[in-house]
Homo-oligomer: A and B are copies of this chain.
Amino acid sequence: MLQELKEKTLEANLDLVRRGLVLYTFGNASGIDRESGLVVIKPSGVDYDALRPEHMVVCDLDGNIREGDLRPSSDLKTHLELYRAFPSVGGVVHTHSENATAWAQSGREIPALGTTHADYFHGPVPCTRELTDEEINGDYVLNTGYAITERFKGIDPLAVPAVLVAGHAPFAWGRDPMDAAHNAVVLEAVAKMAFMTVLLNSTAGVSQALLDRHYFRKHGANATYGQR
């Protein structure tokens, strides 16, 4: 069942580790097969060394397990809410990567400070509001997803493929699991450079024209980057 998606989802999970975004098991990647509406996600708390495609958990968009003996990632409901609210998204990752998490903990969005940012994120990387005590004590993981999708009202999720959850850490997404992992890696680099930049100049920022130019150099019908 969904063998190829399982392999790609596993590969995205392992890529996060190889690139230093994940300590122990503090991360997870998932992918969705839009045709069947089924989501493939990493099991919870399993060592990456031991992960095989057949360990991936398959569930539907309501969270009903359809295949797999292991419990899914404890962040499953956040992933599902993102898939439900963002139909263009094919993969989601969550990490506690150090620099992006520092921004999330500070409760500050990452402003667009340069073209590395603009190549991937067409505007600031938003930070959610803090959850209320009721939301935390209720269906917390799902409410985390709601806080994200609420924050993205009016924002195209593929134009800004990441978010900071206040007091928590980032989520990133993309067309498929590897694209989501790629965006998470770039987010971490962008967050690191932004940290240094705001210490050097607290009012730094780029113009909308530069933001547009770089974003559309890599995205959309008129993209000129790479070999397409």
Chain A residues at the B interface, C-beta cutoff of 8 Å: 23-26, 43-46, 70-71, 74, 96, 98-99, 101-108, 113-116, 130-131, 133, 136-137, 140, 167-169, 182, 185-186, 189, 192-201, 204, 206-207, 209-210, 212-213, 217, 224-227
Q: How far does the alpha carbon of A64 sit from the alpha carbon of B64 in the complex, in Å?
A: 58
- Do B107 and A213 touch (CB < 8 A)? no
List 10 A-B pairs, minimum CB-CB distance, nearest first.
A45-B226, A102-B196, A106-B200, A106-B201, A105-B114, A105-B197, A133-B209, A136-B209, A167-B206, A105-B113
| Known contacts A44-B225, A207-B130; A23 and B200 CB within 8 A of each other | no
* Chain B residues closer than 8 Å to A182, beta-carbon distance: 24
How many copies make up the complex? 4
Closest to A226 in B: B45
- Do A227 and B43 touch (CB < 8 A)? yes
Closest to A168 in B: B115
Closest-CB distance, A15 to chain B (whole angstroms): 12
Q: How far does the alpha carbon of A106 sit from the alpha carbon of B202 in the complex, in Å?
A: 8
Can you list 25 contacts pairing A with B, beta carbon distance less than 8 Å?
Answer: A24-B185, A26-B116, A45-B227, A46-B227, A74-B225, A96-B116, A98-B189, A98-B193, A98-B196, A101-B116, A102-B196, A104-B114, A105-B113, A105-B197, A105-B201, A106-B201, A106-B204, A116-B169, A130-B210, A133-B207, A133-B209, A136-B212, A137-B213, A140-B213, A167-B206
